[in-house]
Amino acid sequence: MSKEYAFKNGIRDGIPIGLGYFAVAFSLGFMAKKCGLSPLQGFIGSFFTRASAGEYGVYTMVVQDAGYLAVVAMSLVTNLRYLLMSTALSQKFLPETPLFIRILTGCCVTDEIFGISIAYPGYLNPAYTFGAFSISTPLWALGTTCGIIAGSVLPGSIVSALSVALYGMFIAIIIPPSKKDKAVGIAVAVSFLLSYVVRRPEISGTINLSSGAVTIILTILISAAAACIKPHTGAENNDETEN
């Protein structure tokens, strides 16, 4: 498969992803507006981040005046999965693919781009991933910009109503895997419960930690406990492949 053909196929498959990105990023733009970001700053931030949960977490912590280290740690924890995705995706390339091409491809990975790239039959030409990135990423960044602009001109009541889309986005993320895997559902329920408990005035007043730091600690502890109690085995991966 030639680079030109692969790149065009990537653009074709990236268009529907980009349209979905635009809608989600539009909602994120409202939160970016609360942080005081300009449309240009929102565009640049989303262009280089491209992570809905990561950006939402960062914007939330900025509004709460969290420290730099807490923001960096939150971004690392929420986006660490991309390291695993990039490593897996690199195995789809021909052995002679240069290292710097593999690294550049890793910088293009999102959940959806990884999904269409890893599912491509046979060896993958990196140009396919670059093509999907080239169309979906600008739409993601543009969505954030449009959300910031809309947040500046729309009435506050409408902005608040549209911000509910963010909660819908996260519900759409956690419900399917929770229904499929009981362990994931329990972990999600425990995270909700503990997040509520530690934010009670009688608790939050004694631990002397920022909201962002508490979120990071809970994320690490709950995910580590879930991994120890219910590890994900290779046999489960084989079953998913067969299905």
Whether residues 31 and 150 fall in one domain: yes
Whether residues 214 and 141 fall in one domain: no
Counted domains in the chain:
2
Whether residues 49 and 78 fall in one domain: yes
Look at residue 10 in the predicted model and tell me its pLDDT. 92
Mean pLDDT in consecutive groups of 10 residues from the start of the chain, 243 residues: 88 88 84 87 89 80 80 79 84 89 90 85 90 94 91 68 60 74 85 84 68 72 83 52 42
Of 117, 144, 173, the domain-final residue: 173
Whether residues 130 and 239 fall in one domain: no
Domain that holds residue 193: 181-243
Report the candidate in 115, 133, 151, 185 with the shortest Cα–Cα distance to residue 37: 151
How far apart CA 43 and CA 37 sit, in angstroms, is: 10
Residues near 10 by beta carbon (within 8 Å), at least 6 away in sequence: 127, 128, 129, 130, 131, 132, 133, 134, 135
CB-based contact 108:7 (threshold 8 Å): no
Look at residue 239 in the predicted model and tell me its pLDDT. 47
Look at residue 238 in the predicted model and tell me its pLDDT. 45
Look at residue 39 in the predicted model and tell me its pLDDT. 92
How far apart CA 211 and CA 67 sit, in angstroms, is: 11
Whether residues 153 and 189 fall in one domain: no
Whether residues 220 and 134 fall in one domain: no
Whether residues 49 and 29 fall in one domain: yes
Whether residues 75 and 160 fall in one domain: yes
Whether residues 7 and 109 fall in one domain: yes
Look at residue 20 in the predicted model and tell me its pLDDT. 82
Stated pTM of the model: 0.66
Whether residues 165 and 204 fall in one domain: no
Of 173, 189, 206, the domain-final residue: 173
Whether residues 60 and 76 fall in one domain: yes
How far apart CA 74 and CA 84 sit, in angstroms, is: 17
Whether residues 161 and 125 fall in one domain: yes
Of 173, 200, 234, the domain-final residue: 173
Tokens 């971004």 found at: 75
Give the tokens for residue 12.
């074709």
